[in-house]
Chain A
Amino acid sequence: MRPLTEEETKIFFKKLAEYIGSNIKKLLERPDDQYCFRLHRTRVYYVSEKIMKQATNTGRKKLASLGVCFGKFTKTGNFRLSITSLDYLAQYAIYRVWIKPSAELSFLYGNHVLKAGLGRITDSTPQYQGVVVYSMSDIPLGFGRTAKSTQECRKLDSEQIVCFHQSDIGEYLRDESKMF
C-alpha cells in the first residue's frame, strides 16, 4: 500500500473525470473525515485516514483489501474503473442514463443498452461520454459510455445501441472469484 505518484494520479483522475468531472474535488475534500487514495497491488482504494493508518500495520503480502476499490491499473499503465466504485460514481455522476424495467435484466447480464430499453438520458450528453446507468427507480445498475449523443438518440431505431456496457452490478455474481 502506498500513495499514488503524480503520474498515476493523473491517469486515474483522467478516467474518473470522464464520469464525475470536477466532482472528484468532493471526494478529496469531505466535511466528515479526511479521505485519500491508496495504491495496493495495482488497485486503487478510496480510504478514510483512520482505516488507512490501521492498514499500515498489516504487511503488504497479507493485506487483502482496504476501503473501497475504485479500479486497477492495467499492465500497460491504463486505469480501469471497477464496479465497486459505483457507489461514488452514482453519487456524483454528471451524465446519467435510465433504463426501462424490461431492459434491466439484459443490462445486468452484460449487454449494451439498446434504444428500446432507454428510459431517460441526461440532456445534451455528448457521444462516447462516460455515463452511470440507473433503473427507473433510480437504483444505480452500472456504468458505460454513450454510443450516440442525446441529439442523435432521438432519431435512432429501437434495435440500435445507445450506451455501451462497461460494468454492471451483475458482476458481483458473475465475476465473484476474480473481483477481489
Chain B
Amino acid sequence: MDVSSILNKAEKKPLHIPEKNDDLQYDIGNLTTLDSLSINSEEFLKDVDNNIKDLTRDNAQLLINKLFQIEGELTDTGVVIQLPDPTTKIPREKPVPEEKPLTKWEKFAREKGIKKRKKSRKVWDQNKQQWGYRSGYGKANNEMDEVIIEDKGEIEAEDPFLQRKQNKQKRIQQQKKNELMNIARSKNGKVAKQTERVIEDLSKQAGKRLTRKQRLQKMFRVVQQSTASHGLFDKRVKNEPKVKLSKKQQFNSVTEPDLKNETKNHLDVLDRILDHTDVSINLEKAINQFKDTIDDADIKPKQQKKKSKSRKPRKPKKKK
C-alpha cells in the first residue's frame, strides 16, 4: 500500500488544515507544540470550554500534519517514522552523578600527564603456542604454570615454587591494602587530615615532635571517640584496642581526709580572691572622715587629706 499517494490526495483537499496561522513552536522529538499567541481574551472568556477544545483540536491537527510531513518507512506494522531529536531542554530528574574519587595512582598520573595506553586483550603464549588472555583465569605466560624452573644461578630460595607462591600472595595483599587505602582516602580524607592537623598542633604546643606511629595512635584515639556515643556503638575493626574514655575527675579522699592540707589550699584560694576584691584605699571612708574632721575643727584641708588617705580601711565601724 502506497501511503504517499493517499497523502498526496489528502493534501489536495485541505480539510485537515485548520483556519489559523501556523505560528506554533514545534518540538517534534517530544511530540509537543507550544501555542503562545492565539488567545483573544474577550471572546475566549465567553465560552472557555469550547474555545479550549477548538484550539486544542486545531493545534493537535497542526502537530499531526507536521508528523505526516516526515518521510516514513513502510514496515509490517505500518508506516514508521523516525522522530528528530527533542529540542526542549527539560531539567534532569536526578542530580548529576558525583565524580568517582581518584585513586592514588590516578591522581599521580593526572599530575604527571601519564595517559592510559590501549593494550590488546590477548597475548601470544610461547609455551602453550597459542593466544591467551593477558590477565585472569588461565592467563597466558603464567609463571605459576611452569612445571620446571631453570636454574640460571640466580635462585636463592630453597623452594623456588614456594617462593613464587609467596610472592604472589604478597602482591595480592599489597593490592588489597592499596585499594583499602584508596577508599579510606576518598571517604574520610578530610576528617583524617583535620584530625592529623589538630594532633600536630597539640604536639607542637607540648614541645614534642611525635613519631609517625605515635601520631597515628593519638589520632586513632581521637577518632575512636568522635561519634555521639564516644565510639560505644561503632563497628570494631579486628584487634582494635578498647575505647578508653577520658579519666573521671578525681576528688580528694573523703574517708581519709588531709584536713590541714585542705585548709591550706582553701586559704590560698581565699588569698587570691581577696587580692582581687580588696582595694587598699577605701576612698569613700577616707572622704567621710575628712569631712567629719573639717566639721569638727578648722584645719587646713590639704594637710588633712594626706593624713586620711594614709589610713587603712576595712575596720568595721558600726555607726552611722
A residues with CB within 8 A of B: 1-3, 5-6, 9-10, 13-14, 17, 21-22, 24-25, 28-29, 34, 36-37, 49, 52, 56, 94-96, 120-124, 126, 149-151
Chain B positions 284 through 320: 1 when the CB is less than 8 Å from some CB of chain A, otherwise 0: 1100100000000000000000000000011011111
The contact sample of 10 A-B pairs, CB cut-off 8 A, is A5-B251, A14-B277, A17-B274, A22-B270, A28-B270, A29-B267, A56-B254, A122-B316, A124-B313, A150-B320
- Residues on the A chain within 8 Å of B201, using CB: none
- Residues on the A chain within 8 Å of B265, using CB: 6, 9
Given that A9-B265, A14-B273, A25-B270 are known contacts, is A56 also in contact with B259, CB under 8 Å in the complex?
no
Contact A149–B259 (Cβ < 8 Å): no
Across chains A and B, the number of contacting residue pairs, with CB separation under 8 Å, is: 87
CB distance from B64 to the nearest CB of A (A): 78
- Residues on the B chain within 8 Å of A6, using CB: 265, 269
CA distance in complex: A25, B284 (Å) = 26
Contact B255–A124 (Cβ < 8 Å): no
What 5 additional pairs, Cβ within 8 angstroms, besides A3-B262, A13-B270, A28-B263? A10-B273, A28-B266, A95-B316, A123-B320, A151-B284
Given that A1-B254, A123-B320, A124-B284 are known contacts, is A13 also in contact with B314, CB under 8 Å in the complex?
no
Interface check B252, CB cutoff 8 A = yes
Contact A10–B257 (Cβ < 8 Å): no
CB distance from A51 to the nearest CB of B (A): 13
Partner of A96, one of B259, B262, B318: B318
Contact B266–A13 (Cβ < 8 Å): yes
CA distance in complex: A2, B254 (Å) = 5
Taking CB as reference atom, which chain A residue is nearest B288? Answer: A124
CB distance from A15 to the nearest CB of B (A): 10
- Residues on the B chain within 8 Å of A37, using CB: 266
Given that A6-B269, A28-B263 are known contacts, is A94 also in contact with B314, CB under 8 Å in the complex?
yes
CA distance in complex: A14, B266 (Å) = 12
Chain B residues 246-278 with CB under 8 Å of chain A are 249, 251-252, 254-255, 257, 259, 262-263, 265-267, 269-270, 272-274, 277-278
Contact A36–B319 (Cβ < 8 Å): no
B residues with CB within 8 A of A: 249, 251-252, 254-255, 257, 259, 262-263, 265-267, 269-270, 272-274, 277-278, 282, 284-285, 288, 313-314, 316-320
Contact B282–A56 (Cβ < 8 Å): no
- Residues on the B chain within 8 Å of A95, using CB: 316
Contact A24–B270 (Cβ < 8 Å): yes
Taking CB as reference atom, which chain A residue is nearest B251? Answer: A2
CA distance in complex: A29, B255 (Å) = 21
CB distance from A138 to the nearest CB of B (A): 10
Contact B319–A29 (Cβ < 8 Å): no
CB distance from B287 to the nearest CB of A (A): 9
- Residues on the B chain within 8 Å of A149, using CB: 284
CA distance in complex: A120, B318 (Å) = 8
Contact B270–A17 (Cβ < 8 Å): yes
Contact A52–B257 (Cβ < 8 Å): yes
From A6, A17, A124, name the one whose CB has the most chain B CB atoms within 10 angstroms: A124
Contact A120–B319 (Cβ < 8 Å): yes
Partner of A17, one of B255, B257, B273, B319: B273
CA distance in complex: A34, B261 (Å) = 12
CA distance in complex: A49, B256 (Å) = 11
CB distance from B49 to the nearest CB of A (A): 70
Partner of B316, one of A5, A29, A94, A150: A94
Taking CB as reference atom, which chain B residue is nearest A138? Answer: B318
CA distance in complex: A10, B318 (Å) = 29
Contact B318–A13 (Cβ < 8 Å): no
Partner of A36, one of B251, B257, B269, B278: B257
CB distance from B48 to the nearest CB of A (A): 68
CA distance in complex: A9, B272 (Å) = 11
- Residues on the B chain within 8 Å of A126, using CB: 284
Contact B320–A120 (Cβ < 8 Å): yes
Taking CB as reference atom, which chain A residue is nearest B285? Answer: A124
CA distance in complex: A122, B317 (Å) = 6
From A3, A22, A29, A37, name the one whose CB has the most chain B CB atoms within 10 angstroms: A3
CA distance in complex: A56, B259 (Å) = 14
Given that A22-B270, A122-B317 are known contacts, is A29 also in contact with B257, CB under 8 Å in the complex?
no
Given that A37-B266, A120-B319 are known contacts, is A2 also in contact with B284, CB under 8 Å in the complex?
no
- Residues on the B chain within 8 Å of A5, using CB: 249, 251
Contact B269–A122 (Cβ < 8 Å): no
From B252, B267, B316, B319, name the one whose CB has the most chain A CB atoms within 10 angstroms: B316
CA distance in complex: A28, B270 (Å) = 10
